[in-house]
Structure 1
Amino acid sequence: MPDTISTTISPEGSLEILSQQEVERLHDTSRSGLHDLLRNCSLAVLNCGNLTDDGLALLETYRDFDIEVQQQDRGVRLKITNAPAEAFVDGKMIRGIREHLSAVLRDIVYVYNEIQTRHRFDLQTAEGTTNAVFHILRKAGTLKPGRDPSLVVCWGGHSISREEYDYTKAVGYHLGLRELDICTGCGPGAMKGPMKGANVAHAKQRRSQGRYLGVSEPGIIAAEAPNPIVNELVVMPDIEKRLEAFVRLGHGILVFPGGVGTAEEILYLLGILLHPDNTDMELPVIFTGPASAADYFKRIDEFLVYTLGEEVRRHYRIIVDDPVEVARAMRVNIDRVAEYRRSRQDAFYYNWRLTVARNFQETFEPTHEAMASLALHREQPVHELAANLRRAFSGIVAGNVKEQGLRAIEAHGPFRLHAEPELMARLDELLSSFVDQGRMKLAGDYVPCYTLG
C-alpha cells in the first residue's frame, strides 16, 4: 500500500460554513449519494501529481481513504483518513490542494442544494440549463465583471508526447506575454502545458492576477486531477454543463492534439457554431500543434468536412508549428470579441448571446443501449449529427476512464456503435489513429471499449 496520512483541516477559500442539514446530507449516502461523490472527487484532488487516468485503480489503491464533514461551533472541519501522502509537506496539506478540496465541497453542496433538490432551474429547457450553469459559476467566484475579455480556453489530450507538451507550453507563454489568461480541463498534458507557459510569462510581465481556471466534472476528475498551477477550480455536475461552461466563459478557444475527449469537445463546439442562430457569433477557434501534429489535424479536418460539410471550415483556423502566430491571432480576435460584445451591450464574463440547443445540453448516459441507438448518419441537420457524434465520443471517454463506464464495460463488454458504411469507415480510421498514436491512455496497452458495426 502507498504511504498515507490522516488529518483534520478547515476548508480554505470557499464554503467555510455549512448548515446542519447540509452536513447530514453529506453523511447520508443512502439518501443523497453525496458522500460517495465527495469521497471520489476529494481523492482525485488529493492524488494531484500522481499520473493516472484509471478511476477504478485509484479507488482500489486508496480503498481505505475517507473524508468526513464535521460541524463545529466555529465552522466546518474535514476529517481525512488515509489520504495520499504526496498531498502533504512535512505532515501539512499543500495549500493549493486544500483550496481545491474546498472547491469540490462547495460545488457538490451547491449543485445538490440549489439545482438538484430545490429545482430552482428548469433543466428541461435551454434557458433553465444556461441559468443553472451561470449560477454554479457565479457561486464559485469564476465570473469577473471588472475584467476585459482575456480568457483563452485550451483543449487537448491528457496523453500527449513530450514534443506536443512543450509546444503547448510555448503557446501558453506567448499568450501570457499578451496578458491573456488560461482555462482548461485542469488535468495534465495539453491542459497543464498552456498554464505553465502562461504562468512564466505573467511573472515576466508582472501580471500578479493571472488566471489559471480549471473546469472539471465528477466523472472525469479522477482521470484529469487538477494540476498544481490551477488557481481557480470549478466542478460542474456533468460533462454537458462542463462543456457549456467552457463556451460561455471563454473569449477564444485553442485546440491542441488529443484523443476522443478532444474530438468530443470539437464536435460540441462546432455543432453549436453551425446552429443558424450563431451565424454572426464572434468566437475565435484555432487548432494548433507542432509540425509533427500536421497529419493529426489533417485527419480531424477531413473528418469534420465529411460529416459536417465544407461550411464547417469557416469556424476554425489551423496553425501548425508557430506559437507566436497563434498568440498574435488570438489576441487580435479577442479584441474583436470585446468590440462585438460592447456594441451589443453583452457581458464580457458570460456569453449569454450564444445559442446552445437542447440536444447539446441533455445529459447523455453512455449505456450500451444508448450507444447502440445513436443516429450516426448524414440524413439529418449537421448540428444534430454533431450532437450525436459528440455523444458517441463521450461514451468512449466514459468507457476509457470514468468509473461508471469502466464498470459497464467490465460487466457487459465493449459498447457497440452503428453508423452508415462510409461514415463508419471514417470513424474507424479516426479512432484507430488515436489508438496508434497512444492518445487513449496515459500508460499501458489500450483495450478498446467499443466496437464498430
Structure 2
Amino acid sequence: MQQPPQPFSVCVYCGSRPGARPEFADAAQAVGQWIGENRGQLVYGGGRTGLMGMVAEATRTAGGRVVGVIPKALVDKELANPLCDELHVVDTMHERKAMMAARSDAFLALPGGIGTFEELFEIWTWRQLGYHDKPVGLLNVAGYYDTLLQFLQHSVQEGLMGEWQMDLIRTATVPQALLKALRDEVPLHRRDDRLSENI
C-alpha cells in the first residue's frame, strides 16, 4: 500500500527579537499562517520570543504542525515553547542544526540577527557542497536584506563567488509566493531523517 505523502516541512530561520519594524512581525505571521493553512510543518529553533515565537504561534493556530529544536543552554534564554507538537532539547548547536536540516524539505530565512545569518549561510554552503539539494529561500522584508544582497553581488564581481552560487538561493519579498515556489522546488525523493548523520 502506498504511503500518503509527507506534509511540506519548512525550516524557518528568524530573529528571537521582534525587530524595529511592524513589517517583520507581519511577515512572520504570514509565513506561519501559510504553513498552517497548507497543512504543512514548521521546523524552527524552538523558542517563543520575537519573530520565532510569532511564526510558531501563527502556524499552530492555522492548523499546521510545529517542531522545535533547542539546545539546553538556550532553553531559558529563548523561552522554549511548550506548545510545539514536538519539542526536542539537544546538547549542542550542531545537533540542533543537523536535526532541523534532516526534518525539513526546504529552508527559509526571515529577518534576524547573527544567529539567522549563520544558519542561512551554513545551509546555503551545505547545498553548494552537495550535502543536500533542498531549496533555500531568503525573504527580504521591507528591504532588510538589500545591502546584504548587494554585498553578495559585489563578491561575485570581485571573483570570489560565482553566479551559480547565487542561483542556489531564491529571494523574494512576498511570503506566500516564496513559500509556494520553495514547495514546488522540493526534490521528488522522500525526506531523509538520516541526513543529520552525514553533516
Q: TM-score, normalised by structure 1?
A: 0.39
| Pair 1:155 & 2:13 matched | yes
Look up the match of 2:170: 317
1:165 Cα offset (Å) = 1.8
Letter in 2 for 1:181: Q
Q: Is the 8 A contact 2:59 2:65 kept in 1?
A: no
Instruction: Tell me which residue corresponds to 2:111.
Output: 257
Q: Does 1:186 align with 2:186?
A: no
SS in 2 for 1:253: strand
Offset of residue 226 of structure 1? 1.7
Residue 17 of structure 2 corresponds to residue 164 of structure 1: no
Aligned-partner Cα distance in 1 for 2:160–2:18: 27
Q: Tell me the amino acid that sits aligned with residue 61 of structure 2.
A: V
Higher helix share: 1
Q: Tell me by how many angstroms 1:227 deviates.
A: 2.9
**1:203-248 per-position Cα deviation (integer Å, ceiling 9, x unaligned):** xxxxxxx321110112222221223542211011111111111111
**Alpha carbons 1:152, 1:181 under 8 Å: kept:** yes
Contact 1:185/1:224 (CA < 8 Å) preserved in 2? no
Q: How does 1:246-395 map to 2 (within 5 A)?
A: 246-275=100-129, 277-278=130-131, 281-295=132-146, 297-298=148-149, 301-302=152-153, 309-310=161-162, 311-320=164-173, 322-334=174-186, 337=187, 339=188, 341=189, 347-352=190-195, 355-356=198-199
Structure of greater Rg: 1
> What displacement does 1:297 show?
4.5
Residues 272 and 355 in structure 1, CA contact (< 8 A), matched pair in contact too? no
The runs of at least 4 aligned residues of structure 1 exceeding 3 Å deviation read: 299-308, 351-355
Cα-to-partner distance string for 1:128-170 (whole Å, 9 max, x where unaligned): xxxxxxxxxxxxxxxxx97614211100111232320221111
Residue aligned with 1:235, SS:
strand
**Structure 2 residue runs without a partner (length 5+):** none
Q: Secondary structure at the match of 1:219?
A: helix
Structure 1 alignment gaps of length 5 or more: 1-144, 203-209, 342-346, 357-453
Is 1:234 aligned to 2:93, yes or no?
A: no
Judged with a 3 Å threshold, the aligned counterparts in structure 2 of structure 1 residues 159 and 328 are, in CA distance, closer, same or farther, namely same
How many residues were matched structurally? Answer: 192
C-alpha separation in 1, matches of 2:80 and 2:135: 26
Give the residue type in structure 2 aligned to 1:348: R
Residue 262 of structure 1, CA deviation: 0.9
Note if contact 1:155-1:190 (Cα within 8 Å) is conserved in structure 2: no
Compute the displacement of 1:177 (Å): 1.8
The structural deviation recorded for 1:296 is 5.3
Relative contact order higher in (CA < 8 Å, ≥ 6 apart):
2
Partner of 2:57: 196
- TM-score norm. by structure 2 comes to 0.82
Separation (CA, whole Å) in 2 of partners of 1:254 and 1:191: 12
- Tell me the CA shift for residue 302 of structure 1: 4.8
What secondary structure sits across from 2:16 in the alignment?
Answer: coil
Task: Quote the Cα distance in structure 2 between the aligned partners of 1:308 and 1:246.
Answer: 29
Contact persistence 1:213–1:232 (CA under 8 A): yes
Looking at structure 2, the residues matched to 304 and 220 of structure 1 have their Cα atoms a distance apart, in angstroms, of 34
Amino acid at match of 2:18: I
| Paired residues of 1:247 and 1:351 also in contact (CA < 8 A) | no
